[in-house]
Structure 1
Amino acid sequence: MTAIVEQVTDAAPRRRPHATLILGLCFTGAIAVLALVSLFWLPFDPSDISGGRLEGPNAEHLLGTDKLGRDLFTQLMIGARIALVVGTASVALAAVLGVAIGLTAAFARPWVDDSLSATLDVIIAFPVLLLAMLVVAVQGASLWSAILAIGLAMSAVVARLTRILARRVLHEQFITAARTSGTRLPGIIAFHVLPNIAPTLGVNLALQFGAAVLAEASLSYLGLGAPPPNASWGRLLQEAQGTVLTAPVGAIAPGIALVVLVLGVNFIADGLRDFADPTRRRSR
């Protein structure tokens, strides 16, 4: 009985959410609320230029106006929606392609595995932003081109990690037992490989989400992201750089929003890593 009580007492602290996970959920949740609200309500029409040019924060315009007289808070809310859409869609695309390629490499013959691994190494050697710029240059600047570009660029990283994790699992004894019992390849992947690599893969995808948001902002800043009137945070930063001394809020607001979202998803990834790694849980 004493041993049972000790086990329960020892396990209880491990179930408590880590502080970084809670902080990450708060940061990301705040941006998500802005994005969801923007679907149903905006303070002003995005194309409304009736406000004064470069006004400071006031009762009517919480963050002031830009150089065209548009409400900055409205633009910030639309930017939150774009950031979450691009981040979610590009990471989903990277996950589907990356997991498929990684599993193919893990289960393939050695020469196929070597060929895929070499190809992935070459792709990973190029920065994500550079690959995204190449894809956007071919497809043309648009929101969906940005999603496609970022997703394809990140899929190589996901594929590489999936291959490494899957090959590690394939050397376990329960895989040998499953094969001996007659379990087919789809069953091994679905019931043995994927459940064992999912925690680590989930942490990596959370980190990739933050990188995707930064990549989209960078593309928009360079004029290769979502074209006007889409109010991407990167485009807001680009438009505000000429007036940063006279109207600093135009650059500070989207910059802070970008930092909050990226920090939020990184904190979530750190919290998920604590739950996925028992040794880290014990150390805390």
Structure 2
Amino acid sequence: MKTPSGQPVATPAEASVETSPKAPAGASARRVARSRRSVTLVAGCVLAGLVVAIAVVSLVWLPYAPDDTSGDRLMPPGAAHPLGTDKLGRDLLTQLMIGARIALTVGIGSVLLGGVLGVLGGLAAGFATRWLDDTVAALLDILIAFPTLLLAMLVVAVQSASLWSAVVAIGLGMSAVVARLTRVLVKRVLAQDYITAARTSGTSWPRVVTEHVLPNIWPTLLVNLALQLGLAVLAEASLSYLGLGPPPPNASWGRMLQEAQTTVLTAPVGAVAPGVLLVMLVVGVNLIADGLRDVADPTRRRTR
């Protein structure tokens, strides 16, 4: 349609199309990011959840006793032994289920121990005086530079190999990492203006810690502890592979791998099965940590 002067005039339908608001490009990117976070968390929960389910079932039911050697040596998978037997005639499915329980016990126990010691040490360093903070920072750097596995080997060698020795050894090794991260986060929070305002208004330091410091640092700490869980599981498997893990009849994935290395060609299930479960648990925990990192930091955008 045209005006008397010959200028075109937009029809109501055309005007509505031209003036209709367009969806912002950032909204689509946010939806994609949220979808990726969901997929990462779900995949991690599924992988780790399968191992957790196996460990929980092992608490109430096992196909055979852990020390039952009534089966023939290196039997292939069958009705009596779904995954076969090892070179001593023990049921592999039973050992895998017990190994899942031990891996989670050592992993969660060492993370709890390392988290408590690390957070307390980091808080103390964050509130310490300048020279004391520098001293603590130097000590933490030395502990972090010291190989965690070697430290665990020393602790286990002193206390003898046991389940709780592995928990203490791995927990002490990771506490330095948690302490250094906590120290950095605490100092960052204490430098904020609202901390100065809280202190000016008469808020005590314990209340500052519980009401301001801890609520602002726990998301980052949670992600780090989730990553430490995967490392703790690998450390336990490494100790067991070296013979410094929980002693028999407790089965460990690391010791199963060590025992099966001589029969990997004739009975591969004994080496493949614990390796698959170990990878599933570590990858699942890392995926959960990756998803938690995105949730804790919504501004983070990943390019894939």
> For this structure pair, what is the TM-score category when the shorter chain's length is used for normalisation?
over 0.9
C-alpha displacement of 1:57: 1.2
Q: Aligned pair 1:219/2:221, yes or no?
A: no
The aligned residue for residue 95 of structure 1 is 115
Segment of structure 1 superposing worse, 54-63 or 37-46:
54-63
Aligned to 2:105: 85
Structure-2 separation of matches of 1:56 and 1:182: 72
2:125 to 75, 86, 105: 105
- The whole-number CA distance in structure 2 between the counterparts of 1:11 and 1:276 is 18
CA RMSD, aligned part only?
A: 1.9
2:266 counterpart residue number: 246
Distance 1:217 1:202, change over 3 A: same
Shift of 1:283: 6.8
Partner of 2:275: 255
Give me the identity figure in percent: 68
CA distance in 2 between counterparts of 1:195 and 1:10 reads 31
Deviations 1:198-236 (A, max 9, x none): 111111000000000000000000011101111010011
Alignment of 1:45-64 (within 5 A): 45-64=65-84
Q: CA deviation at 1:33?
A: 0.2
Separation of aligned partners in 1, 2:262 and 2:248: 18
What is the rounded CA distance, in whole Å, between the counterparts of 1:64 and 1:178 in structure 2? 65
TM-score, reference length from structure 2: 0.88
The within-5 A match list for 1:33-182 is 33-182=53-202
Q: Which has the higher helix share?
A: 1
Q: Partner letter of residue 27 of structure 1?
A: L
- Which of 192, 195, 199 is the matching residue for 2:212? 192
Partner Cα distance (1:195, 1:95) in 2: 16
Give, as a single letter, the amino acid of the residue that structure 2 aligns with 1:68. Answer: L
Aligned match for 2:42, one of 13, 22, 28: 22
Per-residue CA deviation, residues 232-275 of structure 1 (Å, 9 max, x unaligned), is: 10011111111111111100000111000000000000000111
Q: Between Structure 1 and Structure 2, whose CA radius of gyration is higher?
A: 2
Matches within 5 A, 1:264-279: 264-279=284-299
Secondary structure at the counterpart of residue 105 of structure 1: helix
Residue type of the alignment partner of 1:98:
G
Change (3 A) 1:244 1:10: closer
Partners of 2:186 and 2:140 lie apart in 1 by 16
Give the superposition deviation at 1:23: 0.4
TM-score (norm 1): 0.94
The alpha carbon displacement at 1:18 in A equals 2.2
Q: Distance in 2 between matches of 1:202 and 1:241?
A: 36
Unmatched tracts of structure 2, length 5 or more? 1-20
Whether contact under 8 Å (1:275, 1:281) holds in the other structure is no
> Runs of at least 4 residues of structure 1 off by over 4 A?
9-12, 14-17, 281-284
Specify whether residues 37 and 199 from structure 1 end up closer, same or farther in structure 2 by C-alpha distance, changes over 3 A only: same
Match of 1:183 among 196, 203, 217: 203
Question: In 1, distance between residues paired with 2:132 and 2:160?
Answer: 33
Distance in 1 between residues matched to 2:283 and 2:272, nearest whole Å? 16
- State the Cα deviation string for residues 94-147 of structure 1 (Å, max 9, x = none): 000000000000000011101111100000001111111111111111110000
SS at structure 2 position matched to 1:246:
coil
Kept in 2, the 8 Å contact 1:87–1:213? The answer is: yes
Aligned mates of 1:93, 1:257 — CA distance in 2? 24
Q: CA deviation at 1:15?
A: 6.0
**Structure-1 separation of matches of 2:179 and 2:152:** 17
